[in-house]
Amino acid sequence: MQRIANLLAIQDGKVLLLRKPRRGWYVAPGGKMESGESIYEAAVREFKEETNVSPINPRLKGVYTVVIKEGENVVDEWMLYTFVADGVEGKPYKENREGTLDWHPLDELHILPMAEGDRDNLLFASSKEGIQYGTFIYTKEFELLDQQFQTSE
């Protein structure tokens, strides 16, 4: 089962997002955990690899079970760990092999094109107290079929 860790850096009212060329969707920098890594190590390593800068005070904000369904069948399932940070040390890449990087006003999380589950995830991470837990159910084309959340302080 895949484990994905991503990290949303928030600095001066802006968030650092990666725009991926395939769909034009925006994501928080991140990627696959490696064997033996903690989720914290994976989030920080992936963020550094994709941005060339270090996140300040990273902390977990969400843990999500992501399920891909084809009809009634579960065809894939993975875990997503979302961290936030109080900005970064240094100046991020403008682009990397995954796409283009830029700072966006926090409000744009409501309107930028992205997977609908990512939107809920990043809005929670950037604006709410506590930790969110949940499940996203998608089609193979990343159409959101269902989502459920729980939170704690």
Amino acid at 13: G
By CB under 8 A, residue 47 contacts a second copy: no
Minimal distance, residue 45 CB to a second copy, in Å: 12
Of these, 25, 45, 52, 131, which contacts a second copy (CB under 8 A)? 131
Of these, 30, 58, 92, 117, which contacts a second copy (CB under 8 A)? 58
Query: In the chain, where do the E strands start and end?
Result: 3-11, 14-19, 26-27, 30-32, 54-55, 59-70, 73-85, 88-89, 95-96, 99-105, 131-138, 144-152
Minimal distance, residue 65 CB to a second copy, in Å: 5
Q: Which residues bind a second copy (CB under 8 A)?
A: 1, 3, 33, 35-41, 57-60, 63-65, 67, 74, 77, 79, 81, 130-131, 133-135, 137, 148-150, 152-153
